[in-house]
Structure 1
Amino acid sequence: MSDVPKPFTVLVTGGAGYIGSHAVLALLDAGWPVVVVDNLVTGFRWAVPDTATFVEADIAQTETMTAVLLKHKVGAILHFAGSVVVPESVSDPLKYYRNNTAASRALIEAAVTAGVRHFIFSSTAATYGIPDQVPIPEDAAKQPINPYGTSKLMTEIMLRDTAAAHPINYCALRYFNVAGADPQGRSGQSTAGATHLIKVAVEAATGRRDSVAVFGTDYATPDGTGVRDYIHVSDLADAHVHALDHLVAHPGESLTMNCGYGRGFSVLEVLDTVDRVTNRTIDRRLEARRAGDPDQLVADNRRILATLPWRPRHDDLPTIVEHALAWERRLGERRDAGEI
């Protein structure tokens, strides 16, 4: 933890969820005072450390959020709250435009009203759609093929326009596929019915699922299954802390950066890795493609490496799987003990 006093409090929306809870840990480890706002629809109160202040609220309520920002003297917002399941966004687009776009607009308005100067946004590689080139640079065409990606891109545009009109700067971090768990076992992916491949695979490896569905075997990839760039959630959380430091040091500058490792793995390669780590074979069920899934999503991460002092510490697929597996076993023990 840093001994240097921090100039303000950081508010984390969705801080009781998967990625948000890891960002809270990274901020606390760096010495930042943290307030978490979460409506607990998908998050878990127990995922928020006692050293952070917790407020149960809905970010779509502008007046409520303005009051929270002023009360806690918030100087920066890390915004993770939202809906994240791509196939669900195709079947229920209005949910995504409400939870991701409209709610973000309300939060940005609260930030401006309360005089918050820095805003970090949890964006996504889904803003690119089906990319023209892989790895994908930040200036690639933004042509999302599902409402999830569109809802996030709309928020990026709102932030751009707000920063042009008000004294606030922002960083939009476009995540590729987030996986793994805190190496110290403090947090991990805990959502029931999660769709993240590595989460699903370690659930199968620990007996919580009978099999793993492989959605599509006819993609334009070496083995026919979708290729993704998997980034460890703790590396991603660290990127947010570095981005915050950069925004504070450069108040007139806003950033948009990819968060990934620049290397992709196919679905079958991931499952093979889980098999090796667990020394067992997961049953694989081949199914049709899901709506809205591109063939390959791999980050060109040169911009973030050139802009921030961020360097990945867990850029290793077996390590990511091991951390996810350790968390899954810990969850099982806690369920068996009646703790959660």
Structure 2
Amino acid sequence: MRVLVTGGAGYIGAHTSRLLAARGDYVLVVDDLVTGSADRIPGIPVVTLNIANGSAEQLESLMREHRIDAVIHFAAQKQVGESVAKPAWYYEQNVGSVAQLLLAMERASVHKLVFSSSAAVYGEASGIITEEASANPINPYGATKLVAEQLISACARSWPLRAASLRYFNVGGAGVPELGDTQALNLIPICFEQIAAHKSPLIFGDDYDTADGTCVRDYVHVSDVADAHLAVLDVLPSEPGNEVLNIGTGIGTSVRDMVDAILEVTASELSAEVRERRAGDPAAVVGAVDRMRELTGWSARYSVADIVESAWASRQYFEARAASS
């Protein structure tokens, strides 16, 4: 298969691009290289381009030139706080890029798409969340992902687009150290930053209706998420449509347990500091993944320990590289 991967030099994108290339697919990456790096995907051609603004013609040309069969779309902005501060820009980037991509795919007769969505579309939903749960995002980031899904579905009703939208839960870890997440936006890298600064990792609220009082989340290894994209790409339904699929483990881990695992892996003598709840944090958010398993046979293979240990190995790798440069 000949696959165009947008955002393929980023965190999840690079893992997926490497897997595609390793199994013998032809991979072309389009990335603006603002947060991604071509060094992550050696040997894979990279076109530097922000696809959000008027890029449909360029994308169509690339698809025709490289005889593309399918697209995996990662390219997006993903900081919740930034989306609240700059909502119009987030719609321009996250929805605009999907619009440009779909225009190009229709013109180039590329009919397969796997879209990187997010469990953020579920908003404040709590408990075991199925794909049938109400989608009520509470921030512009989640809203842009939902609108993009709706746009994909609309296109699938007007031309023979076969698509899937993958709603990730809490992604972490690294397949190999050089592919780790370099942005401190999620719990694990944020805790690493706190520990490096000799500050206690923070837990927001320990009075929830959960086993230990802290929030429960579904943490899934980035290598499992990358595997999921290939599994879905290979079994896209033959009829047009947009299949919505949760990507997680189906297992909840409390924030307390995760922070304890981080403290153990880092051999830190610090202890967690509990602060008041944050507004909008549901008690428990765990993805039901039965639909994904039934469609593809995929299921997550890695544990929370694997996630934390690989993330820590990646941080040490980048610190050593910075120290030697």
Per the normalisation by structure 2, the TM-score is 0.92
- Report the AA paired with residue 336 of structure 1: A
Asked whether the 8 Å contact 2:215–2:283 carries over to 1, the reply is yes
Please point out which of 32, 37, 45 is paired with 1:53. 45
What SS does the corresponding residue of 2:128 show, helix, strand or coil? coil
Asked whether the 8 Å contact 2:161–2:241 carries over to 1, the reply is no
Asked whether the 8 Å contact 2:95–2:148 carries over to 1, the reply is yes
Please point out which of 227, 230, 255 is paired with 1:241. 230
Please point out which of 175, 182, 190 is paired with 1:200. 190
- Report the AA paired with residue 134 of structure 1: G
Asked whether the 8 Å contact 2:209–2:283 carries over to 1, the reply is yes
Q: Which residue of 2 aligns with 1:335?
A: 322
Separation of aligned partners in 2, 1:118 and 1:318 = 35
Q: Deviation string for 1:253-282 (max 9, x for gaps)?
A: 542110011111222211101122233234
Give 1:17 deviation, angstroms: 0.9
Q: Which residue of 2 aligns with 1:122?
A: 116
Separation of aligned partners in 2, 1:158 and 1:21 = 25
What SS does the corresponding residue of 1:322 show, helix, strand or coil? helix
Please point out which of 320, 327, 336 is paired with 2:307. 320
What SS does the corresponding residue of 1:148 show, helix, strand or coil? helix
Q: Which residue of 1 aligns with 2:243?
A: 255
Separation of aligned partners in 2, 1:48 and 1:267 = 33
Q: Which residue of 1 aligns with 2:82?
A: 88
Cα separation, partners in 2 of 1:300 and 1:38, compared to 1, 3 Å: same
Cα separation, partners in 2 of 1:185 and 1:72, compared to 1, 3 Å: same
Q: Which residue of 2 aligns with 1:178?
A: 171
Asked whether the 8 Å contact 1:135–1:298 carries over to 2, the reply is yes
Is 2:99 aligned against 1:105?
A: yes
- Report the AA paired with residue 331 of structure 1: F
Give 1:41 deviation, angstroms: 1.6
What SS does the corresponding residue of 1:104 show, helix, strand or coil? helix
Q: Give the paired residue count.
A: 323
Cα separation, partners in 2 of 1:295 and 1:116, compared to 1, 3 Å: same
Cα RMSD for the two superposed structures: 2.0
- Report the AA paired with residue 334 of structure 1: R
Asked whether the 8 Å contact 2:191–2:202 carries over to 1, the reply is no
Give 1:209 deviation, angstroms: 6.6
Cα separation, partners in 2 of 1:28 and 1:276, compared to 1, 3 Å: same
Please point out which of 145, 149, 152 is paired with 2:138. 145
Asked whether the 8 Å contact 2:178–2:317 carries over to 1, the reply is no
Separation of aligned partners in 2, 1:150 and 1:292 = 15
Q: Which runs of 5+ in 1 are unaligned?
A: 1-5
Q: Which runs of 5+ in 2 are unaligned?
A: none
Give 1:88 deviation, angstroms: 2.2
Asked whether the 8 Å contact 2:157–2:241 carries over to 1, the reply is no
Asked whether the 8 Å contact 1:87–1:291 carries over to 2, the reply is no
Give the stretch that moved more between structures: 52-61 or 235-244. 52-61
Is 2:165 aligned against 1:163?
A: no
Per the normalisation by structure 1, the TM-score is 0.89
Separation of aligned partners in 1, 2:216 and 2:250 = 12
Q: Which residue of 2 aligns with 1:280?
A: 268
Separation of aligned partners in 2, 1:11 and 1:89 = 27
Q: Deviation string for 1:280-330 (max 9, x for gaps)?
A: 23454444555554332210111111110213221x111111111111111
What SS does the corresponding residue of 1:74 show, helix, strand or coil? coil
Give 1:87 deviation, angstroms: 2.3
Q: Deviation string for 1:120-151 (max 9, x for gaps)?
A: 000111111121x5210101111111111111
Separation of aligned partners in 2, 1:250 and 1:31 = 23
Q: Which residue of 2 aligns with 1:3?
A: none
Please point out which of 38, 60, 64 is paired with 1:66. 60
Is 2:243 aligned against 1:269?
A: no
Separation of aligned partners in 2, 1:227 and 1:279 = 24
Give 1:114 deviation, angstroms: 1.5
Cα separation, partners in 2 of 1:232 and 1:209, compared to 1, 3 Å: farther
Give the stretch that moved more between structures: 286-295 or 11-20. 286-295
Separation of aligned partners in 1, 2:42 and 2:259 = 32
Give 1:220 deviation, angstroms: 4.3
Asked whether the 8 Å contact 1:210–1:283 carries over to 2, the reply is no
Separation of aligned partners in 1, 2:271 and 2:307 = 20
Asked whether the 8 Å contact 1:37–1:54 carries over to 2, the reply is yes
Identity %: 39
Q: Deviation string for 1:36-59 (max 9, x for gaps)?
A: 111112212212222x11000011
Separation of aligned partners in 2, 1:16 and 1:291 = 34
Separation of aligned partners in 2, 1:47 and 1:215 = 34
